[in-house]
């Protein structure tokens, strides 16, 4: 890590970055903590059939097994990032990891669906505390091209964790217990907390304003009602008058959130300063679209493999391994490339490639083999994600000053999780299908996802500038 502008007796550089004695171990700690969030964002996907059978859950309930986690994660990432700026990022990382571990244990022992959903909600709260601050810690520890490389490694490791989740989960399920998938988190959380306390320097608060709790309440209520409404609208019966009414109420609440935030100015949960540049807006729109398509893919592929093609849970999880293998090879270089040539080109190309991979999912049929059907599609999706995700994350951190690193990373992570949340709410028609109709519904969802990826590419080309100043 460059030390040219650092005083040896100071913990903070002139540009706001924090000098760490062991920057590589800081990166390892950040990756380890954030992997908890990504593992649990995907490990449940392969367990949905087993959970539905064990707890007598229908398609709507299975959607909420995913969304009970994504909802607080989407809504509170903003608050988690702002709280890190206000109270210290290491502190929020540690407490979020502790809460996540406790909620994971509660998931493992939940005797019924209601308590499982409540524990999943608490997991989402803990994840909202740790995720934006794990990324913000990288933003304050590394600078320049090294930051791009570090974020690329973080993105690759996150993709690996998200893809290995179904593999580990499937293995445990085939051994006879879906509950064990939540116990995976406990040793990881313990190691992450120990490393954070030992290797991450204690940082000073960057913002002295009180937290915008009212803003968090408005956005949480709006997203919650919108998710519920879209879950109802995504059922095979289609949207009902009640669903439409709830959508209108949700939009109203989110508009109130926007008005309240605009009036609070720089003291808002999402300061209007972050939207002064078109690039910031473009990056977040691309994030919403790209992660929405990816969220639908990661929920539906394991479900279709198990329910329609007769895969075991472990086989369905292992089928996703091309994603982490490709990402670990390419993502670090993509992050460095974005620091040199700008984020627009890799994000645009990557989004198009992800869309092409989703169209290749149409080759998945009852008679198709894994090697001819699913694997080529997954490799293409992984190539696109590797090209787009690390530059996207690096660009978000590079577009704001250190003062707003936590808020900016929290906002972008919140937008990403919201994309997955809305996508999961809308794919109920697939989860409720059976037999041959399940594959037809899956193909429809993949075509829609490809169109969404095309929209992400257009937004990147139009709104994201070519290179950083």
Tokens of 432: 């409720």
Q: What is the DSSP string of 338-349?
A: HHHH-SHHHHHH
- Of 3.40.190.170, 3.40.50.300, 1.10.472.10, 1.20.1250.20, the CATH number of 23-202+269-463 is 1.20.1250.20
> Cα 44–47–49 angle (5° rounding)?
130
Q: Give tens-digit pLDDT for 193-236.
A: 999 999 888 876 555 567 777 887 888 788 778 877 877 776 66
What's the token pair of residue 138? Answer: 């990288």
Q: Which pLDDT band holds residue 467 (cuts at 50, 70, 90)?
A: low
272-331 pLDDT tens trace: 777 777 888 888 899 999 999 998 998 899 889 988 898 888 888 888 888 878 877 887
Q: Exposed/middle/buried for 98, CB within 10 Å: 0-12, 13-18, 19+?
A: middle
CA distance 198 to 31: 15
Structure confidence at residue 5 (pLDDT) = 28
Share of the chain above pLDDT 90, in %: 26
Q: Are 371 and 249 in contact (CB under 8 A)?
A: no
For 284-336, give the DSSP string: HHHHHHHHHHHHHHHHHHHHHHHHTT---HHHHHHTTTHHHHHHHHHHHHHHH
Weakest-pLDDT range from 173-182, 328-337, 434-443: 328-337
Q: Rounded to whole angstroms, how far apart are CA atoms 372 and 152?
A: 30
For the ranges 92-96, 119-123, 172-176, 188-192, which has the lowest average pLDDT?
A: 172-176
Among the ranges given (305-314, 326-335, 373-382, 419-428), the one the predictor scored with the smallest mean pLDDT: 326-335
pLDDT bucket at 12, cuts 50 / 70 / 90: very low
97 and 469 Cβ atoms separated by less than 8 Å: no
For residue range 348-361, list pLDDT tens digits in order: 999 999 999 999 99
Greater confidence (400 vs 69) lies with 69
> What is residue 342's predicted lDDT score, i.e. its pLDDT?
79
367 against 203, higher pLDDT: 367
Weakest-pLDDT range from 56-60, 274-278, 345-349, 403-407 = 403-407
Which of 60-64, 68-72, 411-415 is most confident?
Answer: 68-72
pLDDT score for 403: 65
Q: DSSP class of residue 12?
A: B
Return d(Cα 88, Cα 232) in angstroms, integer. Answer: 40
By C-alpha distance, which of 185, 174, 231 is closest to 47? 174
pLDDT given for residue 118 in this prediction: 94
Three-state SS for 167-227 is HHHHHHHHHCCCCHHHHCHHHHHHHHHHHHHHHCCCCCCCCCCCCCHHHHHHHHHHHHHHH
Q: Give pLDDT, residue 4.
A: 33
Name the average pLDDT for the chain: 82
Report yes or no: 336 and 430 within 8 Å, Cβ to Cβ.
no
pLDDT of residue 406: 65
pLDDT for residue 395 is more than 70: yes
How many Å from the N-terminal Cα to the C-terminal Cα in the chain? 21
List the single range of 14-18, 139-143, 227-231 with lowest mean pLDDT.
14-18
- Is the per-residue pLDDT at 9 higher than 70? no
CA angle 295, 412, 11 (to 5 degrees): 130
3 — pLDDT class (breaks 50, 70, 90) = very low
How many whole angstroms separate alpha carbon 326 and alpha carbon 380? 9
What's CA 133's distance to the chain center, in Å? 14
Q: Is-contact 154 23, C-beta < 8 A?
A: no
Q: Which of 94-103, 147-156, 380-389, 410-419 has the lowest mean pLDDT?
A: 147-156
Residue among 461, 438, 162, 166 at smallest CA distance from 294: 162
Q: What is the pLDDT of residue 374?
A: 92
For range 12-24, the mean pLDDT: 56
pLDDT of residue 459: 93
Percent share of the chain, pLDDT over 70: 88
In which band, very low, low, confident or very high, does the pLDDT at 14 lie, cut at 50, 70 and 90? very low
pTM, 2 dp: 0.75
Give 449's pLDDT tier (boundaries 50, 70, 90): very high
Q: Which position has the higher pLDDT, 5 or 447?
A: 447
């Amino acid at each position: 890590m460059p030390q040219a502008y650092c005083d040896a007796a100071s913990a903070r550089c002139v540009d706001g970055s924090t000098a760490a004695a062991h920057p590589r171990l800081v990166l390892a700690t950040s990756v380890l903590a954030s992997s908890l969030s990504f593992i649990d964002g995907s490990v449940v996907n392969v367990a949905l059939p087993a959970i539905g059978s064990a707890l007598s859950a229908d398609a709507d309930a299975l959607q909420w097994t995913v969304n009970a986690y994504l909802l607080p994660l989407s809504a509170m990432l903003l608050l988690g990032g702002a709280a890190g700026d206000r109270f210290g990022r290491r502190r929020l990382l540690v407490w979020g990891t502790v809460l996540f571990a406790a909620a994971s244990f509660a998931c493992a022992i939940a005797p019924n669906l209601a308590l499982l959903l409540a524990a999943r909600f608490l997991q989402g709260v803990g994840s909202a505390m740790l995720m934006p601050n794990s990324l913000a810690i990288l933003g304050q520890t590394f600078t320049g091209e090294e930051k791009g490389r570090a974020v690329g490694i973080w993105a690759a490791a996150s993709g690996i964790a998200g893809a290995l989740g179904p593999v580990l989960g499937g293995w445990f399920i085939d051994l006879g217990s879906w509950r064990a998938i939540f116990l995976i988190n406990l040793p990881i959380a313990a190691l992450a907390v120990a490393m954070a306390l030992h290797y991450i320097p204690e940082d000073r608060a960057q913002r002295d304003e009180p937290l915008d709790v009212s803003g968090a309440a408005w956005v949480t209520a709006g997203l919650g009602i919108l998710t519920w409404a879209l879950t109802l609208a995504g059922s095979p019966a289609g949207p009902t008058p009640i669903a439409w009414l709830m959508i209108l109420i949700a939009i109203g609440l989110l508009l109130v959130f926007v008005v309240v935030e605009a009036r609070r100015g720089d003291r808002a949960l999402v300061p209007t300063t972050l939207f002064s540049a078109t690039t910031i807006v473009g990056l977040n729109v691309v994030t919403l679209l790209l992660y929405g398509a990816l969220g639908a893919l990661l929920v539906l592929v394991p479900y279709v493999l198990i329910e329609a093609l007769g895969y075991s849970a472990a086989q369905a999880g292992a089928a996703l391994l091309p994603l982490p293998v490709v990402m670990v090879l390419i993502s670090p270089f993509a992050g460095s490339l974005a620091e040199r040539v700008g984020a627009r080109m890799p994000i645009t190309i990557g989004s198009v490639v992800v869309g092409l991979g989703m169209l290749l999912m149409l080759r998945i049929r009852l008679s198709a083999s894994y090697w001819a059907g699913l694997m080529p599609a997954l490799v293409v999706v992984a190539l696109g994600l590797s090209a787009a995700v690390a530059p996207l994350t690096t660009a978000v951190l590079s577009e704001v000053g250190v003062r707003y690193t936590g808020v900016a990373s929290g906002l972008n992570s919140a937008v990403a999780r919201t994309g997955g949340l809305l996508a999961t709410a809308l794919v109920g028609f697939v989860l409720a299908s059976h037999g041959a109709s399940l594959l037809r519904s899956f193909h429809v969802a993949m075509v829609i996802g490809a169109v969404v990826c095309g929209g992400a590419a257009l937004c990147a080309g139009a709104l994201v500038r070519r290179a950083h100043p």
